[in-house]
Structure 1
Amino acid sequence: MAVDRHLVLFARKPRYGVGKRRLAADVGDLEALRFARASLDRLRRTLGSDPRWTLWIAVSPDRPTDWTAPARAIAQGSGDLGDRMSRVVRALPPGPVVILGADTPTVTRQDVANAFYALGRHDAVFGPARDGGYWLVGLRRRPRLHLPFDGVRWSTEHALADTMAAMQGRPVALLREQEDIDDGPSLRRYLSVPGRR
């Protein structure tokens, strides 16, 4: 029997003046909203129709969820990022899970396929981000579930190192480095590539 693969996109419903606060501080609320909408739309189009996995959107706020269709919705709930990722991982049906944020629009189907492939031989896989965090985390979830999210200094340059240390020597794979779009300079670098305006 084949085990389902779960791809979870962590996303906040794009709304003016809500979310992407560091980016909005640099570029304004309207430009931050434009980026959030475009990034979420691109990721849903790129990743949502692939038959190799089921796309879930872990939503914040938890309601309404009508904006996630055709992806399946699952609530993030409260707490820090580690609490929310742990809650979502535990709530999903059996099978490996890959989580990524909606602020890395450069993620491709091949990136996701590489992550699931790595989970065939590793307990976890990470996509390192340029700022010391990570744009993707995947967990095998068999035979026992180990969640490495306690004690992580979120939104700092230590997030990846802290999470990897919490893996306690279990086998881990790394994907290519990408950049989260969290502030004005990262958005300008992203938009400097032709065809991204």
Structure 2
Amino acid sequence: MSRRAQLVVMARQPRFGMGKRRLAAGCGERAAWRFQRDNLALLVRRLGHDPRWQLRLALVPDAVRAPVPAARRLPRHVQCRGDLGQRILAELCPHPPGLPAAPRLVIGGDIAGVHAVHIARALRALRSHDWVIGPAEDGGFWLIGASGRHPRPPDFTGIAWGTDTACAAVLERLPGRHAFADRLFDVDEADDFLRWRRAG
């Protein structure tokens, strides 16, 4: 079994009028759609061809077509049904308990400023820890990763996703040892969008 690390980007197909509702309320539908499309394309260009991991896309509502042209040759699949916790765990721990697995990282498609160096540091942390989590500035998290060595997946039932306590709540559920990745910001509000545009 290959031990090549897997990097999964969970994202929505960029479609006008769908997704990023808080951003659309503050900046308009066009800005929200352009952010989803352009940031996902940027992630694919930055992370899609690094030999240290394989990039995969977990999409909603479908994976029939590539969400951006740069992703046409990347493996992609539809996210499972369920709440955010169930969907994250399906990507993070896809193998039956007890089977060896490669290190696996899961990130969102709306995180700004992600570069290969951030992913590489998170993977290095998994050499000596069971889990790694990348906190977001708003109290959530932008990355979560599993070493593949821990036999028991965590229970994410009842976590208040999208709140400023989400990261802390997830940390309480992780069995074994965890490490922190870099702290970044996601784009949910108009101020976040302006910051993303300024950063280029």
Q: TM-score, normalised by structure 1?
A: 0.91
Matches within 5 A, 1:99-138: 99-138=106-145
Instruction: Identify unmatched segments of 5+ residues in structure 2.
Output: none
2:168 maps to what in 1? 161
Matches within 5 A, 1:1-197: 3-67=3-67, 68-91=71-94, 94-168=101-175, 170-193=176-199, 196=200
Contact 1:7–1:53 (8 Å) recurs in 2 = yes
Q: After alignment, is 149-158 or 47-56 more displaced?
A: 149-158
Q: CA deviation at 1:80?
A: 1.2
Q: CA deviation at 1:148?
A: 4.6
Q: Equivalent residue of 1:125, what SS?
A: strand
**Number of positions where the alignment pairs a residue of Structure 1 with one of Structure 2:** 193
Q: Equivalent residue of 1:126, what SS?
A: strand
Q: CA deviation at 1:4?
A: 1.8
What is the rounded CA distance, in whole Å, between the counterparts of 1:30 and 1:161 in structure 2? 33
Q: TM-score, normalised by structure 2?
A: 0.90
Query: Letter of the aligned partner of 1:38 in structure 2?
Result: D
Q: Equivalent residue of 1:192, what SS?
A: helix
What is the rounded CA distance, in whole Å, between the counterparts of 2:123 and 2:157 in structure 1? 23
Contact 1:75–1:88 (8 Å) recurs in 2 = no
